[in-house]
Chain A
Amino acid sequence: MRADGTEARIAVKRWVFGRNPRMTALRVVVLILGATAVFGWILLPVRAHGISMRPTYGDGTLLLVNCTAYRWTMPSRGDVVAIRMAGWRTVYVKRIVALPGERVAITNGILLVNDQPVSEPYVTYRSRWQTAPVSLAGDEYFVVGDNRGMAQTSHEFGKVKRDRIVGKVVF
């Protein structure tokens, strides 16, 4: 009986800590450090709150933001990006629809960039939003959510500075 108990204990210990506990500990440390680095600085996990990005992203969707996406390239039209507030823990998720130097307006719900209507296949719901034309400075982007069916006053959209853009939503 005693021998059986000892063997069982050894088996459990080996199952938990592996054949070489020191290597297992090292693997755990590397895994924790790697996950912290990846999900802390490279792929930022964020949860979407609200309905402003419907139907692309619903309320409660977990998203991953590639924080290195714009290290060597500039944000482009159509990119869904995370925009920081005071820091990275709470961000807006919006789509870039106009780039620096462009002139943008919304007339009867139709997006106009440099006075030309823009095709937006990602927009399913559309109300008759109206905004006066605005010109974007060299470091400004125009961002808006995909849900244009909601009231214009309830939807956060407009100009955002380049340094506010944390990264690109990848999935």
Chain B
Amino acid sequence: MSSRFRYAAVTLIVVAVALGVWYGYPNDARAIRRQLDRLSADISAGAEETDFARLARAARIGRYFSEDVRIQVTGLSAITGRGALVALAAQARQADPGFRLDFVDVQVSVDPDHQHATVSLTARVTTTSPAAGQSDTDARELRFIFRKVEREWLVAQVTDVAAIERVS
């Protein structure tokens, strides 16, 4: 084995170990990002499910939110409390198998006390028109407030942010 090859192999191993440590090390911002990934995956995964599966998924979605969560988004009535949110999720039959929610451009800012965090992101919703079979995408900027409850980051508040301020 040539020395050049050995150097390259050692460098690769060092880089791989450094990346492993970097991504594996417990970090609040990464924990919040993971929580958001799981939330979007659970909300998206609803195609052709049974009533029982839908109820189970609604309960699972509730686990991402604090007991006193408040969701206030323009155009929708405000939701207060985890119970109300779970009830709403259980009622919402997802007739659209193409429904998908993605969180992009996620920016996490953890407070110095490590108990609260503010997340700015763009929520991208893709739906499919049953008649035309075409997909439609809508996006909205959201602001999440996370709170740490028993070592778990839970969503305590969701509000929307207007990139363009509407005039009437």
Contact = CB atoms under 8 A, between A and B. Distances in A.
A156 B162 CA distance: 10
- Sorted from nearest, which 3 A-B pairs have the closest CB atoms? A87-B105, A85-B141, A86-B105
B165 A90 contact: no
Interface stretch (A31-39, A66-74, A118-126, A158-166): A158-166
Describe B's contact surface by its main secondary structure. Answer: strand
Interface string A34-48: 000000000000000
Interface string B92-108: 00000000000011110
B167 A158 contact: yes
18 contacts: A49-B136, A49-B137, A49-B139, A83-B164, A85-B122, A85-B140, A86-B104, A86-B121, A88-B105, A89-B122, A90-B104, A131-B167, A134-B167, A158-B165, A159-B167, A160-B163, A160-B164, A164-B164
Contact of A84 (B136, B163, B168): B163
Contact of A90 (B124, B166, B168): B124
A143 B164 contact: yes
B166 A158 contact: yes
Which range holds the interface residue count of chain B? 20 to 34
Interface string B129-168: 0000000110111100000000000000000010111111
Contacts of B121: 86
Contacts of B107: 86-87
Interface string A70-97: 0000000000000111111110101000
Interface in B56-76: none
Contacts of A134: 167
A89 B164 contact: no
A89 B137 CA distance: 13
Nearest to B107: A86
A86 B124 CA distance: 11
A1 interface: no
A12 to B, nearest CB: 24
Interface residues of A, number: 22
A26 interface: no
Nearest to B124: A90
Nearest to B105: A87
A60 to B, nearest CB: 10
Contacts of A3: none
B122 A159 contact: no
A132 interface: yes
A92 B165 CA distance: 13
Interface in A1-54: 49-50
A116 B124 CA distance: 38
A92 B132 CA distance: 24
Contacts of A90: 104-105, 122, 124, 139
Interface in A121-171: 131-132, 134, 143, 156-160, 164
Nearest to B106: A86
Contacts of B166: 156-158
